[in-house]
Amino acid sequence: MSELKSWKEIPEGVVIEEAGNSEEYKTGAWRSFRPIWYKDRCIQCYRCWTFCPDLSILIKEGKVAGINYEYCKGCGICAHECPKKANAIEMVPERT
């Protein structure tokens, strides 16, 4: 988190002046379950990428390449959507 500003320095009315700044806010610490992606089981159907609400499925050279743990909140939608026959994503409890 960047240095905290005083009430005189921030825009009035709870306005965020720059668009697309959610990248600066890392939400990975919210996770209580961590998705584990198994490359050998993945059939590259992109269902996890399609349904992830946080763009946390990494794509490299057109292929699913893992999970971005800086932003993944551990919602489990990717594991739920992964086809049963592949079962390439498993949710495991996050160690505290």
Which residues of the shown chain bind other proteins in the complex (CB under 8 A)?
Answer: 1, 4-7, 10, 12-19
Q: Are 36 and 90 in contact (CB under 8 A)?
A: yes
Q: Which residue number, 12 or 40, has a Cβ lying nearer to other proteins?
A: 12
Q: How far apart are CA 30 and CA 34, in angstroms?
A: 10
* Per-residue tokens: 30: 């919210």
Greatest C-alpha distance within the chain: 57
For residue 23, the minimal CB distance to other proteins (Å) is 13
Q: Which residue number, 21 or 96, has a Cβ lying nearer to other proteins?
A: 21
Q: Which residue number, 12 or 61, has a Cβ lying nearer to other proteins?
A: 12
For residue 53, the minimal CB distance to other proteins (Å) is 16
For residue 21, the minimal CB distance to other proteins (Å) is 8
Q: Is 42 left (phi over 0), alpha (psi -120 to 50) or beta?
A: beta
